Chain A
Amino acid sequence: MNELTTASFDAFVTQSTKPVLVDFWATWCGPCKVMGPIIDELASEMADVEFAKVDCDAHAELAMRFNVLSIPTFVIMKGGSEVGRFSGSMSKETFKERLSNFVK
């Protein structure tokens, strides 16, 4: 899993040839803990998407820049720009379905 920082974020999302799913999370957030293993599994199953994480505690500037007001929030980036987002905990099937709407 790619752990992004305020310093590495922009280069990572603009240089990626694949769409990037960014998981905004934090250690104190129960639903984020639920989604963690699901995202890890999908990261190894879905070759057409790059998965990355942003720890909102350590990188609050990024959370602010993306106007994240609720976690977990998942932001999909293509060529450096946001193309969609969704938030909350959900089943693996639902997550996959919602993600695939943005990466087709």
Chain B
Amino acid sequence: MVHEVIIIGSGPAGYTAAIYAARAELKPLMFAGLQPGGQLMLTSEVENWPGEADGVMGPDLMEKLKKQALRFNTDIRQEEIAKVDFSKRPFTVTTSAGVEHQAKSVIISTGASAKWLNVPGEKELQGKGVSACATCDGFFFRGKEVVVVGGGDSAMEEATFLTRFATKVTLIHRSEAFRASKIMLERAQKNPKINFIMNTVVEQILGTEKVSGVRLKNSVTNEVTEMTADGVFAAIGHAPNTGIFKDFLKLDEKQYIVTEPGSTKTNVEGVFAAGDVADHYYRQAITTAGTGCMAALDAERWLAAQE
């Protein structure tokens, strides 16, 4: 069976594409991937999703989008796509269990994943104080001291969130300039439990059975210091999940998928990209939902033109 459209990824872009494609009776088949719901599953309160006047929890928002996609009969599979072949039509996608599926068009909404620090001690101490999810793990740092690394909105959000539990949160940032929005930065700066250490990078995470501290290096003076901490949360940005597409699609220097300006078209006709996988600039739930909608409309029109 050749599907009209396969959607890879299940963040706001994927679900919005599914809602539109399903309502257009394209019977979309969605592969939700290893992290169903995407990055919002790792956040706490989302305050800027239009229509949710009182804010909404990230996982709850994703549950609603999923429900809406299911309402119009999207076929959602809890499987990961490990391989694609866009060199011939129909396109083929292969799950990690080795099952192949074919489609006339593909919408890629695989998003981006948080980057790790890639320093000694990080891998060894994962789940032992090194965490990838402040909202999941913050609870276990009640009365403890933690470190957040980064200078963007997610670093500010995580640091602020962690003050609910930790007695002291130290935010370590490699420069003096912040990418974070003014509202998020000010909220963190005003929080008496958050200390800022600027122009500093984490060189190593210390500890054997669990995290005991971090080794820091000042990038201006080159001074190396050690600081005690019970937990380390990295929020240093994201990398797009484009590894399986690199043989077929044009990627930019940061490995994001290149789309035609003002559309979701990639360099392969019939393959569309939406959400963070093709956007390192806006990276908002609402912008990815917007491009998810565009991708479904682009796919629908492209499919109609093929007939």
Interface residues, chain A, with chain B CB atoms under 8 Å away:
26, 28-34, 37-38, 56-57, 63, 67-73, 85-93
Q: How many A-B residue pairs have CB under 8 A?
A: 82
Q: What are 17 sample pairs from A and B whose C-beta atoms fall under 8 A apart?
A: A26-B136, A30-B37, A30-B133, A33-B41, A38-B78, A57-B139, A63-B140, A69-B127, A69-B141, A69-B210, A70-B133, A87-B127, A88-B126, A91-B79, A91-B80, A93-B96, A93-B97
The answer on a CB contact under 8 Å between B231 and A28 is: no
Contacts of A68 in B (CB 8 A): 140
The answer on a CB contact under 8 Å between A30 and B136 is: yes
The answer on a CB contact under 8 Å between A69 and B135 is: no
| Bound: A70/B37 CA distance, A | 19
| Bound: A73/B126 CA distance, A | 11
Interface residues, chain B, with chain A CB atoms under 8 Å away:
34-37, 40-44, 57-59, 62, 78-80, 96-97, 126-129, 131-133, 135-137, 139-141, 210, 231
The answer on a CB contact under 8 Å between B59 and A30 is: yes
Cβ-defined partner of B136 (8 Å) among A29, A63, A92: A29
Q: Closest A residue to B98 by CB, please name it.
A: A93
Q: Closest B residue to A26 by CB, please name it.
A: B139
B221: min CB distance to chain A, Å: 33
Q: Closest A residue to B42 by CB, please name it.
A: A30
The answer on a CB contact under 8 Å between B136 and A70 is: yes
| Bound: A92/B78 CA distance, A | 9
The answer on a CB contact under 8 Å between A69 and B128 is: yes
| Bound: A57/B128 CA distance, A | 19
Given contact pairs A28-B139, A70-B136, A92-B78, a sample of 7 additional A-B residue pairs in the complex whose CB atoms are under 8 Å apart: A26-B136, A33-B41, A56-B140, A68-B140, A70-B126, A72-B136, A91-B96
| Bound: A86/B36 CA distance, A | 19
The answer on a CB contact under 8 Å between B140 and A30 is: no
| Bound: A62/B141 CA distance, A | 15
| Bound: A53/B69 CA distance, A | 30
- Which 6 residue pairs spanning A and B have beta carbons closest together? A30-B41, A70-B127, A29-B136, A87-B127, A30-B59, A70-B137
The answer on a CB contact under 8 Å between B96 and A31 is: no
Q: Closest A residue to B40 by CB, please name it.
A: A30
A31: min CB distance to chain B, Å: 6
| Bound: A93/B225 CA distance, A | 43
The answer on a CB contact under 8 Å between A28 and B131 is: no
Contacts of A73 in B (CB 8 A): 127
The answer on a CB contact under 8 Å between A31 and B139 is: no
Contacts of B139 in A (CB 8 A): 26, 28, 56-57
Q: Closest A residue to B63 by CB, please name it.
A: A33
| Bound: A85/B126 CA distance, A | 12
Contacts of A86 in B (CB 8 A): 127
Contacts of A26 in B (CB 8 A): 136, 139
